[in-house]
Amino acid sequence: MSDFPRGLIQFSQACLPPLLPGDYKIRVDQTIQEVRPEKPFATELDFSVAGPRFDLNPADIYSVYPPTNQSGEFGNTLPQIVFTRRTIPWERTLDGSDPDNQNPCPWLALLVLSGSDFAEGTLPKITTRKVGDLLTPAATDNCMGPALGAADLAKYESVNDQCNTVDLPAALFVNVAPQVADLPYLAHVRTVSTDNKETLSYQTEGSFAVVLANRLPESSVDDAVKNAVYLVSLEGFKDHLPGGGQKIGTANVRLAVLAHWEFACFGKDNFKVLMNNLEVDRLQRPVGPDLNAKADAGDEGAGQVRSAFEMGYTALNHHIRNGEKTVSWYRGPLVPMFYPTEETYSFIPSADAALRYNYTTGLLDASYAAAWQLGRMLALQNQQFAQALYRYRNQARVATKTALDDADTARAFQLSAASLEDEAIEMLKTDGVQRVLGEE
């Protein structure tokens, strides 16, 4: 695409094909008035739009990442596959219905697996089977295939066609497969300038379809971990994807594999290794050995302090409004236990009104007061909110002053509030205002 600016990249949500794969019929009627005006000439043509379904032409794959059979620190990278034809991920739908133009959903997904995902510790093998064995697995296989039948095949498709398949445990499939709501975010179109670039001699348009995995590769600090990526078809599995609502009634799931590759991943600073080595504990202040010893010995004060620490509190110096100094409890919004959320809150005019006093310990809890003050400062930092608040307070102040002035006037002239406006008008007509002011 020579007219696209060099050095820029454009992302598009999807690119739907003009015609979905399937069987079509076109009919042409032509009326020739001079020859046969009462009966037009007609002809019909049956044709099919072919598209990948159970296999994929290798020429449709532009590149994959991580590269095939390579080793490296790929732990922080989502595997991806790039197609030369920008419509491939949207040429079919999950349930065979018409595509949703407002929210296009791809029918392909990348599954990233490693040996640790399987009880045997080894990756599953790719098996070549007939399409009929994919759609209707043998009872002895205890597998569920896609919700498709022979009647759903196009004229150019047959149950005797060969395809690559993989059998995955149903529980693993539910854990690693993307949800339907996530699929639109796992595919997109990238448009780049291909000027002065090697494009495998057949891709000059500059628009590529990209499908991303939803899972990071397995990695290890000691040895490289072998990972496998499977490009699978999710057609016929819409109701059995995570969150789909229907449970899988078999031990395994049989998927059509359109492409697959392997690579090795290692490194100590990748996301998965850091998360696996994370020391998970409650968010609380550590309790020292001396405090534990005193609390275990029956010291009441030490026991109360330890209990507060276990609930996520810490003790901080507190300067209260009258100038005195004390120590108060404080905790942040992240606590190591369940706190029920209140649906309604009573009006709090100031931060001090949110202080809580513990009559048993004689200490204040300043957590909600600090949260109130923080919320107030954040709100006033918003210029639009601060201006709107100022206008509201100014209008309320003017309305209050007007009401007080009206009440004073009504009392001075012994008028009711209802007749105040009428009496004021009459006084203006008789120059009563000047008379009253002159008397004053």
To 5 degrees, how large is the angle CA 368–CA 352–CA 348?
Answer: 70
d(CA 253, CA 144): 5
Structure tokens, 243: 């969150």
Residue ranges covered by each domain of the chain = 9-14+52-272, 289-377, 383-439
- Identify the pLDDT of residue 427: 56
Q: How far apart are CA 61 and CA 261, in angstroms?
A: 12
Phi then psi dihedrals of residue 106, to 5 deg? -70, 160
What is the per-residue pLDDT for 343?
A: 78
The strand pairing partners of 164, in sequence order, are 128
Token couple for 287: 């309790």
Q: What is the pTM of this model?
A: 0.62
Q: Is the peptide bond before 66 cis (omega within 30 degrees of 0)?
A: yes
Mean pLDDT, consecutive 10-residue segments, the chain of 440 residues?
68 90 89 85 89 92 94 90 94 88 92 93 93 94 93 90 95 94 94 66 70 91 89 94 87 96 84 71 76 86 86 89 90 78 82 89 90 91 91 91 84 65 59 45
pLDDT of residue 137: 94
State the pLDDT at residue 267.
78
pLDDT recorded at residue 195: 66
10 Å CB burial of residue 294 (0-12, 13-18, 19+) is middle
